[in-house]
Amino acid sequence: MYICSLIQYCPTMSYEQILKELQSGQYRPVYFLMGEEPYFIDVITDYIANNALQEHEKAFNQTVVYGKDTTIYAVIDAAKRYPMGAARQVVIVKEAQNMKEIDQLHYYAEKPLQSTILVVAYKYKTLDKRLKLYKVLEKTAVILEFKKLYEDKIPEWIDKYLSGSGYTIVPAASKLLSDYLGTDLGKVANELDKLMIVLSGGKERQITPEHIERNVGISKDYNVFELQNALSEKNVLKANRIVNHFEANPNDNPMVMVISTLFGYFVKVLSYHYLADKSKAATALKINPYFVRQYEAAARKYPAAKVVNIISILREYDMKSKGAEGTMSATNGDLMREMVFKILH
């Protein structure tokens, strides 16, 4: 049984181990891939689709269906077929969460054909563990569950993704990307791939904020990360310049994203105030040690009581940005400028 999570790896086999096994040419009869994070489901599915068969074998031995367009019985029939002119066949079920009667797959999973590789991509949710299918899969299949990564885990994931290709990234650049792209790993991986292609033509192997500004379109000087810095330093001039830029480029810096990021930041500043051992702040706050000094600076500038007030301000303006009563005539630029003023004073 292989029930693995991206956050809490199972003791038997992880996503990386499964991928390594596939890359060595080892395939198992059934892969049931499920969970809230679709990126890893796609990576494994695509790898099997692209590599399990030679190109000339795919026409007769590779079947790809979508959950909403097929039935579980059609999938079972396809999986029970024997390969033609090849050692194995591949059956891939995409968007399997849309299938009705998926529990009936247990009839096939109880004794899967060894010459078939069946991949079931069950996205955005998990299979009900009370179903007979789940109990059968525990004994006969590879089950991988992928949970959505929390925001504070994205920079670490970026580092790991790049290191696999021999690249590194400075912490400020990693934070810039994660703040801008959020937790959508597909988008993050796509931008990282672009950056590695750009750098592949030269000797540089480290991604900096300048690379991101030139190639991703995120300003290294006018972004929520820099606004966070300006607020932590109580740099009124810099903070207002950034807000003016945000107002002029609302699509690049939506207020809901700015408030969400600042809210998470000041919650951690408040937590920093109450740490018994501030030398362990990086571990306690789940941040890169590189950024600890920013939290130290913010804690010096803002007493705990003021941080509580700032958190209340952010909640207030989150409501106002969503059209709370009495704010319909105010622009997001006006609201953000007002919000920043209250934070700083």
Class of domain 224-344: mainly alpha
The pLDDT value recorded for residue 113 is: 95
Whether 179 and 264 have beta carbons less than 8 Å apart is answered as no
The pLDDT value recorded for residue 9 is: 31
Query: Where along the chain do its domains lie?
Result: 2-146, 151-215, 224-344
The pLDDT value recorded for residue 67 is: 94
Predicted TM-score of the model (pTM): 0.74
Pick the CATH number of 151-215 from 2.40.50.140, 1.10.10.10, 1.10.8.60, 1.10.230.10: 1.10.8.60
Task: Give the pLDDT of the chain (345 residues) as one tens digit per residue.
Answer: 444 443 333 334 678 889 999 999 999 999 999 999 999 999 999 999 999 999 999 999 999 999 999 999 999 999 999 999 999 999 999 999 999 899 999 999 999 999 999 999 999 999 999 999 999 999 999 999 999 888 778 888 999 999 988 999 998 888 888 878 888 899 899 999 989 998 887 778 899 988 888 888 777 788 888 899 899 999 999 999 999 988 888 887 888 889 988 999 999 999 999 999 988 988 898 888 888 888 999 999 999 999 999 999 999 999 988 876 555 567 888 899 999 999 998
Q: Residue 174 CB: number of other CB atoms within 10 A?
A: 25
Q: Specify the CATH number of the domain 2-146.
A: 3.40.50.300
